[in-house]
Amino acid sequence: MDGHSADDRLRKLAKASPNFGRLYGYQPLLAIYGSQAELTVLTNPNAAYVSAGQFGEVLAEEFVTRTGTRVEGTSQFDRLNALTRAGVLVGWSRDAFDKLRRGRNDAAHNHLFDTTKALEALKLCWQLGDLFDRAMGGTRTVGAFVPPTLPTDVQSADPEEITELQEALEGHRRALAESRVKLSETSDRLEAARRAREEAEALIASAERTKTAYAEQIEELRTQVSELRTAHQQQYDRERVQPRKVASAARDAIVERAQRPAPLNEVQARKKIDAMLSKAGWLIQAKADANPLAGRGVAIEEFTLATGRADYVLYVDGKIVGVIEAKREGTRLAGALAQNERYAAGVLKEHAMAVWRREGPGSTTSVLASTSRSSSARSLVPTWTISWRRTAPVSPRCPASSPRTRTARSGSSATRT
């Protein structure tokens, strides 16, 4: 088979990985090494450690060259130190790179058999790849690690290790399913969870098919992978000594994006909103257990209105004062505001007497709040849109009762707009 067709095979196989395929466009070796770690993680953990370490090395080199960072020294430790000084790596990301570096060293000198730790290394590769995609591409797509399926022939291994591995895989499957939950598409949380589990299982099954195809051809493609690595190393060695020119604004943007936390999925966002509401003094209740008089400020979840279903309806002293709609990060706020205005005007007849005040044109203002520290409207995570009655009296006893429009960010004081 000629080289061109083999290149096409390698590209197709590497890009098919649900965990690493998207990195192919940045650097093919990232998708290739990530896919190789996936392939061997449960059957040959030592080989998976090596592939994960290679992934970490190439990823660090890509960070160095794309930020124009000068590195004194040729080791992975030198690269990581330089990226840390530049602010690209902080906290968990530096720790993750170090774990991959140490894991590869251990695999090279002390043959490793711990499958659960190899799985952890694979998950770290996914997390760092996701970080790289967000830092370089500015993407804020909510994703999750797609775990492998435990092969039947692993059952001959140590029973305690099998149990530990099964628990780890089950935890990853739950996290994947949670990331697929779309509460905004159905009023039934159980139905949303069921759909999410089905999507997660389909992704896992697809990943297994991809691994099977990769395993059948990987030996034939090893020479090409080696050639790609040699070419990449030569390019990196040149740019390490003489970094490419990167505009300071572009470099600062990469650093800022690399330091931002990953976006929250809808379940995580709801938990964050619940915590923020509780901290602000609201009592949170499920619709089935609704008691608007249980406290001065009560937030009732999944509240049905004539114009739709609000994520939360807010009561103060038994009167409806507003609604909250949780949106995925990146949702245009104009649409969210319009939706909330419809909700605010759509209280069902049986709840109409509970509305604080209804009279007057233009009787609502809005409050936007976020768990993100960024001031960019597109980066609000999660986005709250709260519609207040402009005519509602301000009471220092009512939680967050000011009718003024304002934007609040987690970890900082509210700022009026």
Mean pLDDT by 10 residues, the chain (417 residues): 57 88 94 93 91 96 94 93 95 95 83 85 96 92 90 67 88 92 74 89 89 80 88 90 89 94 87 88 88 88 74 84 73 59 54 44 36 35 38 46 35 29
Whether the full predicted model's pTM is greater than 0.95, yes or no, is no
Paired with 315 in beta bridges are 298, 320
CA distances from 48 to 24, 70, 100, 162, 394 (A): 19, 30, 11, 17, 61
Residue 151: asked if its preceding bond is cis (omega within 30°), the reply is no
Q: How far does Cα 15 stand from its chain's mean position?
A: 20
What integer pLDDT is reported at residue 333 of this predicted model? 59
Residues 6+ apart with CB under 8 A from 194: none
Q: Are 179 and 144 in contact (CB under 8 A)?
A: yes
What integer pLDDT is reported at residue 310 of this predicted model? 78
What integer pLDDT is reported at residue 312 of this predicted model? 86
Q: Are 151 and 43 in contact (CB under 8 A)?
A: yes
How many other CB atoms are there within 10 angstroms of residue 86's CB atom? 19
What integer pLDDT is reported at residue 201 of this predicted model? 93
What integer pLDDT is reported at residue 379 of this predicted model? 29
What integer pLDDT is reported at residue 344 of this predicted model? 55
What integer pLDDT is reported at residue 218 of this predicted model? 78
What integer pLDDT is reported at residue 151 of this predicted model? 80
Paired with 384 in beta bridges are 369
Can you give the length of the chain in residues?
Answer: 417
Paired with 299 in beta bridges are 284, 314
Q: Count Cβ neighbours within 10 Å for each residue of 269-278 and write b for 16 or more, e otherwise.
A: bbebbeebbe
What integer pLDDT is reported at residue 50 of this predicted model? 93
Q: How many CA atoms lie within 13 A of 393 on its CB side?
A: 5
> Token pair 């290394």 is at which residue?
121
Paired with 385 in beta bridges are 368
CA–CA dist 289, 270 (Å, integer): 18
Q: Count Cβ neighbours within 10 Å for each residue of 155-189 and write b for 16 or more, e otherwise.
A: eeeeeeebebbeebbeebbebbbbbbbebbeeeee
Q: How far does Cα 249 stand from its chain's mean position?
A: 25
